[in-house]
């Protein structure tokens, strides 16, 4: 009995040495700390796994089913603040107690790190879904939007106040604004006005000390880092102030599809040569996927040219006849509409859907997927395109979207904000494969396919470094230490240089200055430089 008692004492002692407290301890300690601010007296604000609403809330904005699978990590609690003071108190409590936090504004992170985890430490989600106010000031030419509002809600509220103003941000309307802008935020007006982050005028954040800061209070270094330096590294985004840009009362859109049998390969080869040089009012992306050939058991490749032109149909036809006649655009292909209606069109909604659907803030489809990205500097030859088609026809549900650069994107310097993919880029590629089966072996098969495709594409895309878009997060590129410890600058450069090129060094220095304890961290958060030798290395 004595030995048994001593064993119990030893186990209790060892438990106190554990870097992570148990789930119940974490929940209780965090809840008790929040209680000192009278927050937990509010209904529907703090959820633990024992709450029947916990799982529906966790899954409510999870875009990627792969990240909420039964074997995926789950939070120990979800906190849904109602204002910036609640966020401030949550950060103060979490830092005091050593609790790891994740922040979710829209849930579109491709690897799910705003609501899931590959790293070991238990964590709490700060879900921003109740912070979605949008204040449009047409006279000032700006809009303040809270982090939990979706891009669609933002667009709708702007159009509600003005038919001749818009926001240059994303194509997917269910994106949460908070995280979207921190990665860059490209969209169909990027060739005219640049990224959403290029048009950010101010921001409010809660820093690691629980202070609420705006641009003036934080200084220009941190403000620079937040505009494209990736979310979850420097603070909690509360709201953004974005510039309104002029748009015509009438814009023109089109969808023109071409299959291999209709000369798709040659047309796409030509698109690569002209897409970045077209009139900057014209954005033509290409959506590529396999489709079934009617009345046969065969498949072919479909390429759909999905476009927005900031002008009328007649002017668009003139530009296309001069610059890209190979597509064969006709007057019947061109549809004139308001800018807000074009948001739905580009996002793939049927023409019959009213613009009020943007206020729903929900994605149109949810599945399991794995995605990657690339930037292309020289056209991929027709032979290379044909080899891509062979790989696509061997996969069940692949998709790739090619987004054109040029225009304003070529004129903004690489160091203007952390997003570095500028002059010399013809277009960006997004690769994606999706599936519905929960079977792990099925998922592994599809992930293996996209990894092999990515390896094949190395010969056709940017090199030294091979660049990637941080808002299409890809943990295959590397990640911080799994145990939650501080990662070295050298190790983090494996993915940091791909996302940020030379701007990564500056991001690391700013992170080290403003969050020296590395409180804000996740699988690909910006690391700190704890050693003088590493600081010197980063300056080489």
Catalytic residue chosen out of the listed positions 155, 305, 472, 499 = 472
Per the structure block, which two tokens stand in for 77? 């609690």
- 123-150: burial string, b at 16+ Cβ within 10 Å, e else: bbbbbbbebbebebeeeeebbbbbbbbb
Which stretch of DSSP H or E encloses residue 125? Answer: strand 123-127
Distance of alpha carbon 117 from alpha carbon 98, whole angstroms: 17
> Is the bond leading into 501 cis (omega within 30 degrees of zero)?
no
Which stretch of DSSP H or E encloses residue 404? Answer: strand 398-404
Distance of alpha carbon 447 from alpha carbon 133, whole angstroms: 38
Strand pairing of 123-127 and 100-104?
Answer: parallel
Spatial neighbors of 272 by CB under 8 A, at least 6 apart, are 376, 379, 380, 426, 427
Sort residue 38 into left (φ over 0), alpha (ψ -120 to 50) or beta.
Answer: left
In three-state form (DSSP H/G/I as H, E/B as E, the rest C), the secondary structure along 2-35 is HHHHHHHHHHHHHHHHCCCCCHHHHHHHHHHHHH
Would you tell me the crossing angle of helices 23-35 and 84-97 to the nearest 10 degrees? 130
Distance of alpha carbon 205 from alpha carbon 382, whole angstroms: 48
Distance of alpha carbon 41 from alpha carbon 37, whole angstroms: 9
- ∠ CA(19), CA(20), CA(24), 5° rounding? 150
Q: What are phi and psi of 215, to 5 degrees?
A: -55, -45
Q: What are phi and psi of 59, to 5 degrees?
A: -85, -10
Residue 472 bears catalytic tag = yes
Task: Classify residue 228 by burial, with Cβ atoms within 10 Å: 0-12, 13-18, 19+.
Answer: buried
Q: What pairs with residue 135 in β-bridges? A: 144
Active site residues: 472
């Amino acid at each position: 009995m004595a030995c048994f008692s001593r064993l119990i004492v030893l186990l209790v002692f060892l438990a106190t040495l554990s870097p992570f407290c148990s789930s119940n301890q974490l929940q209780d300690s965090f809840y008790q700390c929040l209680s000192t601010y009278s927050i937990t007296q509010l209904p529907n604000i703090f959820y633990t796994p024992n709450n029947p609403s916990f799982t529906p809330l966790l899954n409510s904005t999870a875009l990627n089913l792969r990240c909420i699978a039964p074997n995926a990590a789950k939070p120990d609690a979800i906190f849904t603040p109602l204002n910036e003071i609640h966020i401030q108190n949550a950060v103060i409590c979490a830092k005091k107690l050593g609790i790891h936090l994740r922040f979710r504004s829209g849930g579109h992170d491709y690897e799910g790190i705003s609501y899931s985890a590959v790293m070991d430490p238990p964590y709490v989600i700060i879900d921003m879904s109740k912070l979605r106010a949008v204040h449009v000031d047409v006279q000032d030419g700006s809009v303040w939007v809270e982090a939990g509002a979706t891009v669609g809600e933002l667009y709708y509220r702007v159009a509600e106040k003005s038919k001749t103003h818009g926001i240059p941000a994303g194509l997917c309307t269910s994106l949460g604004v908070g995280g979207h802008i921190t990665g860059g935020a490209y969209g169909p007006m990027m060739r005219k006005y640049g990224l959403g982050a290029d048009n950010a005028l101010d921001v409010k954040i809660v820093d690691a000390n629980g202070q609420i800061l705006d641009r003036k209070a934080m200084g220009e270094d941190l403000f620079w880092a937040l505009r494209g330096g990736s979310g979850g590294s420097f603070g909690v985004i509360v709201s953004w102030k974005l510039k309104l840009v002029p748009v015509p009362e009438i814009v023109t859109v089109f969808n023109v599809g071409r299959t291999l049998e209709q000369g798709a390969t040659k047309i796409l080869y030509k698109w690569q040569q002209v897409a970045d040089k077209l009139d900057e009012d014209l954005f033509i992306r290409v959506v590529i996927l396999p489709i079934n050939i009617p009345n046969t058991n065969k498949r072919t490749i479909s390429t759909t040219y999905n476009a927005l032109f900031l002008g009328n149909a007649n002017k668009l036809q003139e530009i296309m006849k001069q610059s890209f006649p190979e597509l064969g655009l006709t007057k019947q292909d061109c549809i004139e509409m308001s800018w807000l209606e074009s948001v739905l069109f580009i996002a793939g909604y049927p023409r019959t859907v009213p613009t009020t659907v943007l206020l729903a803030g929900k994605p149109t489809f949810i599945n399991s997927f794995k995605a990657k990205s690339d930037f292309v500097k020289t056209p991929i030859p027709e032979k290379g395109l044909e080899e891509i088609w062979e790989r696509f026809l061997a996969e069940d549900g692949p998709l790739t979207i090619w987004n054109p650069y040029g225009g304003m994107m070529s004129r903004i310097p690489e160091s203007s904000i952390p997003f570095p993919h500028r002059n010399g880029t013809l277009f960006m590629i997004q690769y994606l494969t999706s599936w519905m089966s929960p079977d792990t072996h099925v998922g592994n098969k599809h992930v293996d396919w996209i990894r092999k495709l990515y390896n094949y594409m190395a010969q056709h895309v940017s090199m030294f470094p091979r660049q990637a878009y941080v808002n299409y997060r890809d943990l295959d590129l590397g990640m911080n230490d799994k145990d939650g410890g501080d990662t070295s600058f050298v190790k983090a450069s494996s993915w940091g240089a791909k996302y940020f090129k030379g701007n990564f060094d500056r991001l690391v220095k700013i992170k080290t200055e403003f969050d020296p304890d590395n409180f804000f961290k996740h699988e690909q958060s910006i690391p700190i430089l704890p050693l003088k030798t590493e600081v010197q290395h980063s300056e080489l």
